[in-house]
Chains A and B, each alone.
Chain A
Amino acid sequence: MPYQLDNRPADLREQMYFPEIIRGIGTLTAHFLRNLFFTRDANPDILERPRGFGKSDNVTLFYPEEKAPYPPGYRGLHRLVPRDDGKPRCVACYMCAAACPAQCIYIEAGEYPDDPVEKYPVKFVIDELRCVVCGFCVEACPKDAIRMDTGEHAPPSYQREAQQLDEKALLRGPSVNYQDDPWLRREAPSIPAEKLAAMKAAATPFPSVATDEYAQTPGFSVKALAAEARARAERSR
């Protein structure tokens, strides 16, 4: 976080330069001793780490072992959102594939044998190497069936094929049921009756505003951090 420097002329001591060097050595020594003698706090929210006497000034995260939480709304790896019965919410409408500017989504639609009304994706492949992570697919989806709320990157791999995620790899994460889901309203025959009742009972209203509840890390708030930084800037001014 940048802090304000007032652009005043150097005073007498600063012009003499040597005393300022000695003061600088003092400052660095304080940092050195604090970091040498006291343990680094591992809190991923670095601004929340305790500071001052008897505390390490260290601001490092050991990255692969410790990860900073991503802010809500971070567009991570895609996932196909499942229903409570484990099938994808996706109805293979091709809206996401049509919206995709990188044309990285490939869908083959199929029908459930016991439900002639409803389609589902027989194949749903996303080439993560082509994906530009714009999030248009998530916006385009009318069924909230594709999300980018995993908070993960595309994992590194030695083969290009490993980056082409199919429906088996994509279908994961917490399931979602909305009250006005067509398969619940129609009581789709592809879902067993008792499962249908449970799904109906668990269903929630479709949110009028988008939420990222699965990407949220407890105790981490961009808004709170921004407010704190503003307050700090106010104080220093």
Chain B
Amino acid sequence: MKRFFGMSFALVMVVVALMALAGLFYLAAAGLGWGFNAWFGEPGRVDPALVHYGASLANVLTLMMGVLMISGSLLTVAERKWSALLQNRVGANRIKVFGNPLGGIPYLAADALKMLTKERVEPARATHLLYELAPMLSLAPVFCLFAIVPVGPAIDLGAVFQGARGAGQSVALQVAKMDAGLLYLFAIASLSVYGTSLAGWASNNKLALLGGVRASSQMISYEVSLGLSLVGTMMAYRTLQLDEMVVAQGASVLSGVPAWGLLLQPVGFLIFFTSGFAETKRAPFDLPEGESEIVGYFLEYSGMKFGMMFLAEFLEIAVFAGVITAVFLGGWHPLPIAGVTEWLRASLGGGVLFGAVCGGIFLTKMMVMMWLQLTIRWLLPRFRYDQIQQLCWKILLPAALINIFVTGAAILLDPSLKLLATLGLVTIVVVAVLVGATGKAPAASQAHAHGGGH
């Protein structure tokens, strides 16, 4: 019972800490935005570009270097600890700080030390330039991806610094607010395949090459369904920008229920989740690694170069969790009840406090999505290669196309999105009934080899 209350308290404290962190990020963004204007701008005038530039720089430091890097490295520990909890084990607990294992977090330091001090081995006939380039190419695009994830709402700079100049300028926890939005996401996400396939090719190793080939074919296949799965949300929210999508998700669509992506596009959510999972190259889609068969595309990498590939995978999880939170789970809207965000903005003054609560909620949702990904990674065994391609081309792709047509028709018939939301609700209920129904259906004689749930 002591552990129950302790753990509940710890979970609440994690959420509170994330909110405090988001508040600090807002202060950093607002401070740097205001500072850039004061240092580089003409005195007595507010230059929106300078404010935006300063805030973006602060966001690069806090969100990319802070949130993304720390959550990526903590995920390496979480992979052990959470998998242990899922499998009724204890998990990493031998490194203790003053007798306390601290949830395995000290293993982070041990891992980093190990990676950094390992011998650097390079195969004799590897293509040196590409061999060195590959880890960077797999790590860098993942960082770039996080630029468009809107972690917090736009708040007024004047509300942060009372009475200071700069009222009317908005500061958001988003590195780059660009019109291309989701297109940028698809473009950069497909860049990361270069890292893996180059690593496989440049290592001068047959098994690594196999891994690289598998990675490229799998990732290119799943990019198709990944892109198509989000077309429905683009149509529903009439925008490509993630931050505008999040704002649009606050609107009421079915008598108080907000237009969250999960409600409007449940099928799109499933397809996006599956395809994104394949993009992260983790089980059950970990054929590029396939450690029991081919070891993987990073077979010839040692030390921190392997560490970068390893970390890139976990960063992809974090980024993917961020994108899915923004597009489907209502982003920084705290509750799935329309109007709550406005009430919160009004009662908290629309300043840093409001931003902190919303940003903390976003980070919490992101954490839950990362947990869900790790859970699925420990739930399912690796698919066979033909099953992977079959799942993509024969199930996900047609389902995504049908989803686009149905969504388009529903929006055309009813531009207020009520029909689309009703369709989504029906889909969710059908899936819930399918999942929850106990009792065995009579064995079907006309057996499909593999069926999609939708």
Contacts and interface: CB of A to CB of B under 8 A. Distances in A.
A28 B270 CA distance: 19
A10 B451 CA distance: 12
Contact of B2 (A13, A39, A59): A39
A28 B84 CA distance: 11
A194 to B, nearest CB: 51
Interface stretch (A17-25, A138-146, A152-160, A212-220): A17-25
Interface string A1-13: 0000000111111
A227 B424 CA distance: 53
Given A21-B379, A29-B375, A15 B451 contact: yes
B452 A18 contact: yes
A36 interface: yes
B99 interface: no
Interface stretch (B118-126, B140-148, B175-183, B435-443): B435-443
Contacts of B444: 11-12, 15
Interface string B111-149: 000000000000000000000000000000000000000
Given A22-B431, A32-B82, A15 B448 contact: yes
A60 B434 contact: no
A128 interface: no
A11 B448 contact: no
B376 interface: yes
A18 B3 contact: no
B89 interface: yes
B90 A17 contact: no
Interface in A120-176: none
B85 A35 contact: yes
A81 B421 CA distance: 81
B372 interface: yes
Contacts of A13: 434, 437, 440-441
A29 B375 CA distance: 8
Interface residues of B, number: 36
Interface in B2-19: 2-4, 7-8
Contacts, number: 91
A19 B435 contact: yes
A206 interface: no
Interface in A52-109: 57-60, 62
A35 to B, nearest CB: 4
A40 interface: yes
B447 A16 contact: no
Given A16-B452, A19-B453, A37 B376 contact: no
A16 B434 contact: yes
A23 B435 contact: yes
B270 A58 contact: no
A25 B376 contact: yes
A22 B375 contact: no
Contact of A37 (B8, B86, B431): B8
A21 B3 contact: no
Given A17-B452, A25-B376, A38-B4, A32 B434 contact: no
B86 A11 contact: no
Contacts of B437: 13
B450 A17 contact: yes
Contacts of A37: 3-4, 7-8
A230 interface: no
Contacts of A16: 434, 451-453
A219 to B, nearest CB: 23
Interface string B411-454: 00000000000000000000100110100111110011011111
Nearest to B11: A36
Given A8-B443, A16-B451, A58 B379 contact: no
A59 B88 contact: yes
B306 interface: no
8 contacts: A13-B440, A15-B448, A18-B270, A18-B452, A19-B435, A24-B379, A24-B380, A59-B89
Given A19-B431, A25-B372, 9 more contacts: A16-B453, A21-B379, A25-B379, A26-B435, A28-B86, A31-B86, A31-B87, A38-B3, A39-B3
- 5 smallest CB-CB distances across A and B, nearest first, come from A18-B453, A12-B441, A35-B85, A19-B434, A57-B88
